[in-house]
Amino acid sequence: MLSIRARNMHALIRICLALLSGVLVYASYQPQGFSVAGVVGVAVLYAGFSPIKGQYVSLRLGAAIAASHCFVLYMLLLPWIGEFVGNFPYISLAVFLSLYGIILGVGAAALQRVPYPWLWFAFLYLAVEWLRSHFPFGGFAWVRLAWGQVGSPLANLASIGGPALVTFVTVVLATGSYTIAFRRHMTIIVVCFLIIAAGTAWTTVTMGSSKSIGEVSVAAIQGNVPRLGLEFNAQRRAVLANHVAETSKLKEREPVDLVIWPENSSDVNPFSDVEAKELISQAVAAASAPVLVGTITHDEVGPRNTMVVFDPETGPGEFHHKKFLQPFGEYMPMRKFFRLFSEKVDLAGNFQPGNGTGIVRMRAATSGTAVTVGIATCYEVAFDAAARDAVRADAQILTTPTNNATFNFSDMTYQQLAMSRMRAIEVDRAVVVAATSGVSAIVQPDGTVTQHTGIFEAKTLIETLPLRNSSTIAVRYGSTIEYTLVIIGWLAMIFALWRFNNTSAAPASATKPNRKSPSQSTSSTAKKKNR
């Protein structure tokens, strides 16, 4: 048995490994983009749970290890939230998200007592990520491990199982590599690595092999905002005027088929404001092409975050109401309760979610053919259903209109662009990212960015993009694959905890003194005398 001082030293080493792993995993996300750091970071985290000189971590220490890892990671990854609401809510969110680490840590500590813990840990990691991405209030999928792999070959696996499979394989590579270093379970690890290599190679080779059914020339408009920070909302007419002015420049360039404006490019409702409607009509006429406009509408349910098609011939057309709304931003759950902690809850909106398939049809200006455009407005891009539902509804191209102006020069826009790139790979569609203030970008179906803007500059991106009607494995079976892996993860944790409780109880009973009854003691003494 180790002394108390040695145990404390081992615990400190494990916590330090957890802190280091948080920094490494953070480095994998954009704009840093060191994808291999994500694999190394998870390997370092897993090392914190592994036995040292035969001594296993307790469930309590396991919880502390994972929570420490998560806290460092989210504190580094999410400062952009503080740009909007201040440091207190940002730190509170990081602390809250770290609570999911307690589940991961407890499960990881218990899994060390079962065979092949490195493999079961990958299932458990994904299960906890799934929980965090769905609960509560729709979850927070922004911090999925997969987003940090968008620049690596592993991202290509998204076409099979979406971001969930990318996360799972990343963890398998990390824990398997760590285990190989100690030469354990070599055969099964090598088999897993060969499967991963074959899957990655297959998706890489087949990527781009889908045949296009046509092409379309698209313009992404970034009109910019008049100044930084929350105050820009008070100048929404100026934001609209900026996008009108930038769009008007299209008449001096080559003809385009479609024009994409960002989310909130017209915060003035053109259906209730005559001046806003006239300005948009002016821009549409100058472009001589349909324009997808981000605006705010109202109906009997309440305010909506809406993308509306304005056609130069037929006027306003199809629309998409944002379905996945950002809690504590676009709406405030439990407003009265959270107001007890901060009056800033009243900065949150009261938007109502939409429904539908997430597509609109736009008439290509040069050919007159209808193009089905799938929309994932800003925060929606983090949710699997947004892109998959649109593609199932025959979306031939995707767009991510977004408004990042309130987040200044933070990493938020780069993290979001990484998600759009992963979605392009996942569903085999080109993606047009249009932002009010940056970064706007053109993303090819293989996830590469061919054009992008800077932050806070007025600019137009024009490119001819492929139209596709393919359906990837992820679109058809991605949810089934994810749920299967997640269920295995929860079952593995339950079994490990059950076994942990049983093995912990056995030694306790075995060490109890064998107390004989008085009659047994007397009988034994008599036998000795008779000998």
Q: What angle do CA 241, 439, 267 make, to 5 degrees?
A: 35
- The CA distance from 530 to 141, in Å, is 79
On whether the CB atoms of residues 57 and 70 are closer than 8 A, the answer is no
Beta bridge partners of residue 55, listed in sequence order: 52
- The CA distance from 30 to 151, in Å, is 9
Neighbouring C-beta atoms of residue 488, cutoff 10 Å: 18
Neighbouring C-beta atoms of residue 530, cutoff 10 Å: 6
Q: What angle do CA 214, 259, 236 make, to 5 degrees?
A: 160
On whether the CB atoms of residues 265 and 223 are closer than 8 A, the answer is yes
Q: E-strand spans in 397-447?
A: 397-402, 431-435, 441-443
Burial class (CB in 10 A: 0-12, 13-18, 19+), 177: middle
On whether the CB atoms of residues 266 and 276 are closer than 8 A, the answer is yes
Active site residues: 263, 322, 378
Neighbouring C-beta atoms of residue 479, cutoff 10 Å: 16
On whether the CB atoms of residues 374 and 426 are closer than 8 A, the answer is no
- The CA distance from 403 to 293, in Å, is 12
On whether the CB atoms of residues 26 and 76 are closer than 8 A, the answer is yes
- The CA distance from 253 to 250, in Å, is 5
Torsion of CA 165, 170, 172, 175, to 10 degrees: -160
